[in-house]
A = this chain, B = another copy of it.
Amino acid sequence: MESKKFLLQEKDIPEAWYNVVADMPEKPAPMIHPGTKKPLTVEDLSPIFAEELARQELNETDRWIEIPDEVREMYRIWRPTPLVRAEGLEKLLDTPAHIYFKNESVSPVGSHKLNSAIPQAYFCKKQGITNVTTETGAGQWGAAMSLAAKHFGLELAVYMVKVSYHQKPYRRSIMQTYGAEVIASPSMSTRAGRKIITDHPNYQGSLGTAISEAVELATSTPNCRYVLGSVLNHVSLHQTVIGLEAEKQMEMAGEYPDIVIGCFGGGSNFSGISFPFIRHNFSGKRNTLFIAAEPESCPKLTRGVFHYDFGDEAGYTPLIPMLTLGHNFAPANIHAGGLRYHGAGSIVSKLKTSGLIDAVDIPQLESFEAATKFARAEGIIPAPESAHAIAAAIREAEKAKEEGKQKIILFNLSGHGLIDMAAYDRYFAGDLANYSVSQEEIEANVADLDKLI
């Protein structure tokens, strides 16, 4: 635990977000309007999202998008975040690899999610919107959005995936402490919720269903918009503050990563740590390996199909060109609730299908084994989601040992696990299991996608 920190000053908080699409050798396919089957416009998106966020979503040309002062001002509460050389973990693994992690767990809500919650609340407020809705899986995004909404004086309703609502009651309490309304999803408050409850009375919910409910409420409420914590381009955009800071900090450490790793649900933290580095791959200056670490039980990047699909269960969203398991895929109730999402955003999907990034799937037990090693070696108890990135980093560090190579590994610690101790309890009690997905299940789930477009 002699781990060395690399610290920036407040003036080093980035002044612009990095829009990776501008630099991509091939652009992602456009999102499609499910009715007209035409590429989406800002006008199509504006009834759902604040206009500025809709513009960011479709912006393919501006490499840098300025961060408003009001947003940077709030970033200052906890940013810049530390970059840490995990010397305790290196010693434990007896590896020649140098392992670095960007510590996004230091935000007041305990995760990277606040990086996007703040600008989303800000742009809504600026447009005169008074009410917002969103969904949350494990509750990290919901907690972040609750704090951001409170700050900018917006009313917020959060649909929380039912299994997490019960597994993680204290994330619900956090949202309520910040003043948000929290509803277990599926709920009776929306058509989408009522339908799935009627069809499957014991269904414990998924991010896809919660998104349907939140979008339905937003579009049926005056002066209300929907905000999303992952998947979309503008969310990835906001999260690039992670990688932009990490780039400077790796310079301070005098090294450059051979491997960059993030856990993967919809893509927000993986994009955040990766995109600022991947631009040096595009330019040919570097040849870094990017690894998205997804759960074995929700393997869209490693085993999904590339197809247009809905972002939500009920089919309210635009059609997104994504690596997907099908929008009705019901993932196992793993404790990494933030990774239980059926698809990947269009940028990551394009990078993956083009072979520009890699992905691995991590069994639940391996993720908790890695988390426990990390906690004992580095003192920080990681979120079950982030534990997937740690597991992937440990695999790479062990590979480096076998090969006798001094690899430089950087991963994103997206959040701490202090609200997830029930999951650790169950792990230590031997009550957790691995959940794999059969090929038949995946094929059945994606079989109807061709009907969409």
Residues of A within 8 A of B (CB): 1-5, 7, 9-10, 73-74, 76-77, 88, 106, 108-110, 147, 150-151, 169-171, 173-174, 176-179, 372, 375-376, 378-381, 418-419, 421-422, 424-425, 428
How far is A376 from B174 in the complex, measured between Cα atoms in Å? 11
Q: A88: nearest residue on chain B (CB-CB)?
A: B151
Contact yes or no, A77 B3, CB < 8 A: yes
| A292 CB, nearest partner CB in chain B, Å | 26
| A244 CB, nearest partner CB in chain B, Å | 19
Contact yes or no, B381 A1, CB < 8 A: no
**Known contacts A170-B422, A376-B179, A418-B418: A10-B7 contact under CB 8 Å:** yes
**Known contacts A177-B381, A178-B376, A375-B177: A151-B421 contact under CB 8 Å:** no
Q: A144: nearest residue on chain B (CB-CB)?
A: B379
CB contacts (< 8 Å) of A376 on chain B: these are 150, 177-179
CB contacts (< 8 Å) of A1 on chain B: these are 74, 77, 151
Contact yes or no, A176 B428, CB < 8 A: yes
| A181 CB, nearest partner CB in chain B, Å | 12
Contact yes or no, B147 A108, CB < 8 A: no
Q: A107: nearest residue on chain B (CB-CB)?
A: B379
Contact yes or no, B421 A178, CB < 8 A: no
How far is A376 from B108 in the complex, measured between Cα atoms in Å? 11
Contact yes or no, A170 B108, CB < 8 A: no
How far is A248 from B173 in the complex, measured between Cα atoms in Å? 36
Contact yes or no, A110 B418, CB < 8 A: yes
CB contacts (< 8 Å) of A380 on chain B: these are 108
Contact yes or no, A379 B77, CB < 8 A: yes
How far is A421 from B169 in the complex, measured between Cα atoms in Å? 8
CB contacts (< 8 Å) of A147 on chain B: these are 379
CB contacts (< 8 Å) of A418 on chain B: these are 110, 170, 174, 418-419
Contact yes or no, A77 B5, CB < 8 A: yes
Contact yes or no, A177 B74, CB < 8 A: no
The 20 sampled A-B contact pairs (Cβ below 8 Å) are A1-B74, A2-B73, A4-B76, A5-B76, A5-B77, A7-B10, A88-B151, A106-B106, A108-B378, A151-B379, A169-B422, A173-B422, A173-B428, A176-B424, A177-B376, A177-B381, A177-B421, A177-B424, A178-B376, A419-B421
Beyond known contacts A1-B151, A178-B375: 5 more, CB 8 A cutoff: A7-B9, A109-B379, A170-B418, A171-B421, A177-B424
Which of A4, A109, A170, A173 has the most chain B CB atoms closer than 10 A to its own CB? A173
| A149 CB, nearest partner CB in chain B, Å | 11
| A9 CB, nearest partner CB in chain B, Å | 8
Contact yes or no, A173 B106, CB < 8 A: no
How far is A170 from B4 in the complex, measured between Cα atoms in Å? 29
**Known contacts A173-B421, A173-B424: A108-B379 contact under CB 8 Å:** yes
Contact yes or no, A174 B2, CB < 8 A: no
How far is A419 from B424 in the complex, measured between Cα atoms in Å? 14
CB contacts (< 8 Å) of A177 on chain B: these are 372, 375-376, 381, 421, 424, 428
CB contacts (< 8 Å) of A179 on chain B: these are 376
| A46 CB, nearest partner CB in chain B, Å | 28
CB contacts (< 8 Å) of A173 on chain B: these are 421-422, 424-425, 428
List the 10 closest A-B pairs by CB distance, nearest first. Answer: A170-B421, A173-B421, A108-B379, A418-B418, A173-B425, A1-B151, A108-B380, A173-B424, A177-B375, A147-B379
How far is A7 from B428 in the complex, measured between Cα atoms in Å? 38
How far is A422 from B109 in the complex, measured between Cα atoms in Å? 17
CB contacts (< 8 Å) of A381 on chain B: these are 108, 174, 177
CB contacts (< 8 Å) of A425 on chain B: these are 169-170, 173, 176
| A426 CB, nearest partner CB in chain B, Å | 10
Cβ-defined partner of A421 (8 Å) among B109, B174, B372: B174
